[in-house]
């Protein structure tokens, strides 16, 4: 039986079989959109396999967090969307008999960056695309790895269990589960939609779409009836934003007289032959007919062309949209990009429980709470981006950096840095390094690059890991986006080391 990503099938099967031997599983995951969707996929799959489990979330899987996990009674721990970067520490606890780790992750393993510790750091049940020649920053996310595991769990638990007794149908029922498209629950293919939300949340789409193993998961989701894909405008907010706001806030490609221009966006729409309001409410992109969408998109492109926006930029206005077809039109949940932002708005504010509940189908209380958190998250992102753009960055030879102190929350400073890249005075030709206070003793670092820089040799995971360890901290992540924790006061020495290392990589 092959899974969605054939290279990973054998390892996924081994991991699944090990989980099925457990009496209970502690599921530990990361606090962002990818971590939440990873946890939701794993939770559903464990539940369907009849395995009791408990879920915990960690901001950072540091030594203390791993020690706390080891101190629980669980003999089997499933790590999703982290674990690989901490294999050495996890391995010590495993060797001491604390627990058996099963890991579904896509971050650079401690062994690959080579700096963190010596030989022998791997573990038997380690599912990571990077071990099988698949790119963990662009081809498979933590949620994707969890999905591959979930598919293997369905197959393995099927083979494991007695044939169902025909009289009662043999199938489990679960209220929250009941609206999943029929026939896809047994093999977990309905979970592909969450895997796509995780990949989009980790910004794995490039050139407007998902690639590689991610694309295979998309195909399974389409097959299973939980996803629809199509070429569409690539603006953020197609489901929920009123049309004028959709255009005004569209800034990835700057359209003169529309982007960042409230009056301009309104005048642009007024100039089109289009019904703009219904029942006194602004219409949204998701409610337009195909013809109406065409009208707006063509006019936008014409405007961009007439204002001299380069063709390569104009192309970026269009991309593949990933639509969760089981979710209601006009909600954040229907668009993979909006869904992932909604999740970040919960987990990055210590409310992972809310995001997880939304992923698991709670459409009432949890969704309303998530929406409230989303309003704050948006405000924080926008004021963070304003702050960085207004105050500017310090430009070194090979990198640029800023220190937000306590003015940007450490859990979102990386998102802010990534979104600020390309704004006035913040060039996309150098990676950006951002600092924010964690507590009195420690500073959080986030770094973001571009795919163009990665093609020239940039690997921020290796850079942040090595530079952080040089000043008594630790870090890791992906080539294009990485993070670290360093002691307060070590920032200058850290930046200097980062600058040197990036210089070596890009030379
Ligand atoms: O821990 P994790 O893998 O989930 O985080 C990935 C982070 O990298 C996300 O915050 C995502 O926004 C960022 N990223 C980025 N640019 C990319 C790819 C990922 O900023 N091209
Ligand atoms: O939408 P995109 O994939 O570029 O997301 C980058 C990050 O910024 C996401 O975490 C999303 O939450 C957020 N975002 C936003 N408003 C926008 C664009 C992006 O909140 N207009
Ligand atoms: O926190 P931030 O969004 O900047 O994280 C970027 C990437 O670096 C994420 O994939 C995160 O998991 C990783 N990271 C890490 N070690 C840290 C901090 C972040 O591997 N100490
Ligand atoms: Zn991830």
DSSP code string of 225-273: TSEEEEEEE--TTTTTSBHHHHHHT--SS--TTTTT-HHHHHHHHHTSS
Q: Which helix (H) or strand (E) holds 55?
A: strand 53-58
Three-state secondary structure call for residue 409: coil
pLDDT of residue 163: 52
| Structure tokens that stand for 454 in this block | 């990665």
How close are the terminal C-alpha atoms of the chain, in Å?
46
Q: Is 112 in the pocket of ligand 1 (CB under 6 A)?
A: no
Nearest CA to ligand 2 atom 2: 337
Residue nearest to atom 4 of ligand 3 (CA): 446
Give the pLDDT score at 170. 39
Ligand 1 touching residue 203 (CB < 6 A)? yes
CA of residue 481 to ligand 1 center, whole Å: 5
Burial class (CB in 10 A: 0-12, 13-18, 19+), 208: middle
> What pLDDT is attached to residue 113?
42
State in Å: Cα 191 to ligand 3 middle: 25
Look at residue 116 in the predicted model and tell me its pLDDT: 46
Residue 417 CA: which ligand 1 atom is closest?
Answer: 20
**Ligand 1 within 6 A of CB of 202:** yes
Cα–Cα distance, 479 to 464 (Å, whole number): 10
Specify the pLDDT at position 423: 87
CB 460 within 8 A of CB 479: yes
Q: What local confidence, expressed as pLDDT, does residue 301 receive?
A: 94
Domains of the chain: which residue ranges? 6-200+210-218, 232-382, 392-506
What is the per-residue pLDDT across 135-181, written as a single tens digit (0 to 9) for each? Answer: 999 999 999 999 999 999 999 987 776 554 444 443 444 444 545 55
Q: How far is the CA of 341 from the centre of ligand 2 (A)?
A: 6
Exposure pattern of 469-500 as b/e (b: 16+ CB <10 Å)?
A: bbbebbbbbbbbbbbbbbeeebbeebbebbbb
Q: Of all protein residues, whose CA lies closest to atom 1 belonging to ligand 3?
A: 483
Q: Of ligand 3's atoms, which has the minimum distance to the CA of residue 30?
A: 12
Q: How far is the CA of 76 from the centre of ligand 1 (A)?
A: 28
pLDDT at position 182, please?
Answer: 57
- Pick one of 3.40.50.300, 3.40.50.720, 3.50.50.60, 3.90.1640.30 as the CATH number of 6-200+210-218: 3.90.1640.30
Topology of domain 392-506, CATH? Diaminopimelate Epimerase; Chain A, domain 1 (3.10.310)
- How confident is the model at residue 206, as a pLDDT? 86
- In degrees and rounded to multiples of 5, residue 200 shows phi and psi of -65, -40
Among the listed residues 71, 65, 86, 74, the one whose alpha carbon sits nearest the alpha carbon of residue 46: 74
Q: How far is CA 55 from CA 36, 76, 302, 380, 393, in A?
A: 11, 12, 50, 28, 39
Ligand 3 atom nearest the C-alpha of 32 is: 3
Residues of the chain with pLDDT under 50: 112-120, 164-176, 178
Supply the pLDDT for residue 111. 56
Nearest atom, ligand 1, residue 34 CA: 4
From atom 11 of ligand 1, which residue's Cα is the shortest distance away? 202
Atom 8 (ligand 1): residue with closest C-alpha? 481
* Distance between CA atoms of residues 371 and 448, nearest Å: 27
Q: Whose CA is nearest to atom 6 of ligand 1?
A: 202
Neighbours of 5 (CB within 10 A): 24
């Amino acid at each position: 039986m092959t899974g969605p990503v054939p290279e990973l099938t054998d390892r996924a099967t081994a991991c699944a079989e090990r989980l099925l031997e457990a009496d209970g599983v502690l599921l530990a995951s990361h606090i962002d959109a990818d971590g939440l969707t990873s946890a939701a996929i794993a939770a559903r799959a464990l539940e369907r396999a009849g395995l009791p489990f408990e879920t915990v979330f960690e901001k950072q899987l540091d030594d203390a967090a791993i020690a706390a996990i080891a101190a629980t009674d669980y003999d089997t721990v499933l790590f999703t969307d982290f674990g690989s970067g901490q294999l050495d520490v996890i391995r010590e606890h495993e060797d001491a008999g604390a627990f058996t780790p099963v890991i579904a992750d896509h971050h650079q393993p401690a062994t690959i960056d080579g700096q963190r510790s010596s030989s022998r750091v791997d573990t038997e049940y380690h599912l990571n695309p990077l071990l099988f020649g698949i790119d963990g920053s662009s081809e498979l996310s933590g949620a994707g790895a969890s999905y591959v595991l979930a598919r293997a769990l369905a197959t393995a638990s099927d083979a494991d269990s007695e044939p169902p007794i025909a009289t009662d149908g043999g199938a489990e029922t679960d209220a929250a589960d009941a609206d999943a498209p029929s026939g896809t629950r047994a093999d977990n293919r309905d979970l592909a939609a969450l895997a796509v939300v995780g990949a989009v949340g980790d910004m794995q789409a490039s050139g407007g779409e998902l690639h590689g193993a991610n694309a295979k998961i998309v195909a399974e989701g389409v097959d299973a009836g939980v996803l629809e894909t199509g070429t569409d405008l690539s603006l953020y907010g197609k489901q929920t934003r009123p049309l004028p706001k959709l255009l005004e806030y569209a800034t990835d490609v700057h359209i003169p007289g529309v982007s960042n221009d409230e009056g301009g966006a309104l005048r642009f729409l007024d100039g089109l032959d289009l019904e703009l309001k219904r029942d006194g409410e602004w219409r949204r992109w998701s409610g337009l007919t195909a013809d109406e969408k065409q009208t707006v998109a063509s006019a936008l492109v014409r405007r961009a062309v007439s204002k001299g926006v380069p063709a390569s930029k104009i192309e970026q206005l269009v991309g593949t949209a990933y639509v969760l077809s089981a979710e209601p039109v006009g909600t954040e949940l229907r668009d993979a990009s909006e869904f992932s932002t909604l999740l970040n708005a919960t987990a990055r504010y210590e409310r992972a429980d809310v995001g997880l509940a939304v992923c698991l189908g709670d459409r009432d209380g949890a969704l309303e709470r998530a929406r409230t958190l989303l309003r704050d998250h948006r405000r924080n992102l926008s004021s963070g981006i304003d702050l960085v753009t207004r105050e500017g960055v310090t430009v070194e030879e090979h990198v640029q950096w800023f220190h937000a102190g306590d003015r940007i929350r450490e859990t979102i400073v990386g998102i802010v840095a990534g979104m600020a890249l390309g704004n006035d005075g913040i060039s996309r030709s150098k990676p950006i390094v951002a600092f924010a206070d964690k507590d009195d003793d420690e500073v959080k670092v986030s770094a973001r690059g571009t795919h163009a820089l990665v093609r020239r040799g940039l690997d921020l995971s290796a850079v942040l890991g090595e530079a952080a360890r040089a000043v008594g901290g630790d870090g890791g992540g992906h080539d294009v986006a990485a993070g670290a924790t360093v002691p307060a006061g070590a920032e200058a020495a850290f930046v200097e080391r980062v600058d040197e290392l990036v210089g070596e990589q890009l030379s």
